[in-house]
Amino acid sequence: MPPFHNLDDNPTLALQRDFQLMEHLDHLGFDEAWIGEHHSGGLEIIASPELFIAEAAARTKRIRFGTGVVSMPFHHPFMIAERIIQLDHQLRGRLMFGAGAGSLATDVYSLGLEQTEIRAKTDEALDLVLRLMKGEVVSKTTDQYVLREARAQLRPFTRPHPELTIASTGTPSGPRAAGKYNGGLLTLGIAAKPGTDFLGDTWRHWSEACAEYGNTPDRSRWRIAGPVHIAETREQARKDVHYGIRDWMKYLRLSPAFKAFAPDIGEKTPDEMIDAFLETGTAVIGTPDDLIAHIEKLWERSGGFGCWLDLTPNWADFAQKKRSYELIANHVVPHFQEMNAGRQQSFDWAEGKREELYAARVEGVNREIAKWERKSAQ
C-alpha cells in the first residue's frame, strides 16, 4: 500500500485509519503489507515507511512488513543501512527490505536529481547498504555522499539481512538489480504498457541477470501488485468505487510511469472511468470470483509467482475497504491456498457413501428395535 488518500481527507485521521487497517489485515490472517515512500503529489502522504512500520508492527502480532520501497537515491546509504538494521531488531524478523529508484518524477525533481541518473544511483547505494549490513567497513566518495571507514554498529536480527526485494515498474533495471543482488522482485502490474509482454520481459531480464551474477531466479519471491476492490456483487463494487475513483485517476496521470496506462478521464462519469480502467486488464472491481479469475490469468501470463499484493487504492470508504479485505480473506485466500481441499474431499466422500451408510444405519436401528421388542415380549 502506498497508501493513497483523497485530497479532502484529514491527513491525521487518514494515517490512523492506515494503522487500523494494518490491525484488521493482521486479524484476517494476511501475510504481509508493504509501505511506500512518497514526498509529493498530495495523495501518498507517508514520507518514511520505517516510521510507519515501527508503529504498525507494535499494533500487530504476526503480519510481516516491507518498505515498499525505500527510494535509494534520496538517502545516504549509511543511514538507510542503520535504519533498516534497527527496524529489523524492533520487528524481530518480521521486516522485509524493499528498495527502488522512486517512481514519482516530482520527488526526483524536488530533490534536484535527474531521471537519467536515479537507476545508477540506486544500484550504487544498494551495493553499499548490503555491504554495510554484512559487516563490511566501507569507504566511498561520490558526487552525492561520502563514507569514510563506515561500519554498522549492529548486525541485522535477520542474517545476513532482511529479505531483499527490488521494485520493478517497467524498465529492465529493477529485475536486473534483483538478479545481481539475489533479491526478490515486486512488480507493479499497472506499469505494464499496452501491447507488451510486460511480465514475460520482467522474468527474462531477471533470469538473465541471475545467470550473469551466479544467482537463481525464484518465482516464489516474485510479488505482483495491482489495484482491487471487492464486494458481494459487481454492481455494489462499482457503486463503492464512486467514492474515490476520480481523485485516484487524476493522480495516476501525474506520474510518467503510469500516464501511458491511465485513461484520460476528461468529463467521464465514475462508471465510464471504471469501464475505461477495467479495459486495461490491470485491475479488479467486482466479486471474489472476479479476483480469482484475474489472479489465475496473471499466473498463466507470468508463468507463476509467489505473492499477489493489493495496491490499496483509496477507491471506497473505510468500511467498504475493510469489507473488501474480509471477502478476499474468506473466499479468495482459501481458493489459492487450498485451505478447504480436505474438507471438500471429505464432503464428497461422505456424500458418495450416503446411501450405503444410510441403509446400514436403518438396518442397525431396526435390529436394535427388534431386539428390544423381543425382550419386552418375554
Report helix, strand or coil for 29.
coil
Please, which residues have CB within 8 angstroms of residue 69's CB and are 6 or more apart in sequence? 34, 36, 37, 49, 98, 99, 100, 165, 166, 167, 186
Question: Taking the domains of the chain in order of start, what are their residue ranges?
Answer: 11-344, 352-377
pLDDT tens per residue, range 233-247: 999 999 999 999 988
The answer to whether 202 and 185 are in contact (CB under 8 A) is yes
Across 95-128, b (16+ Cβ under 10 Å) vs e yields bbbbbbbbbbbbbbeeeebeeeebbebbbbbbbb
Which pLDDT value is given to residue 89? 99
Per-residue pLDDT of the chain (378 residues; tens, 9 = 90+): 778 999 999 999 999 999 999 999 999 999 999 999 999 999 999 999 999 999 999 999 999 999 999 999 999 999 999 999 999 999 999 999 999 999 899 999 999 999 999 999 999 999 999 999 999 999 999 999 999 999 999 999 999 999 999 999 888 999 999 999 999 999 987 656 665 688 999 999 999 999 999 999 999 999 999 999 999 999 999 999 999 998 888 887 776 656 655 666 667 899 998 998 888 888 999 999 999 999 999 999 999 999 999 999 889 999 999 999 999 999 999 999 999 999 999 999 999 999 999 999 999 999 999 999 888 887
Q: Which residue has the cell 491527513?
A: 11
The answer to whether 1 and 35 are in contact (CB under 8 A) is yes
pLDDT tens per residue, range 72-108: 999 999 999 999 999 999 999 999 999 999 989 999 9
Across 169-182, b (16+ Cβ under 10 Å) vs e yields bbebbbbbbbbbbb
pLDDT tens per residue, range 304-357: 999 999 999 889 999 999 999 999 999 999 999 999 999 999 999 999 999 999
DSSP states along 252-319: HTT-HHHHTTS---TT--HHHHHHHHHTTTS-EEE-HHHHHHHHHHHHHHHT--SEEEE---S-S-HH
What's 11-344's CATH class? alpha beta
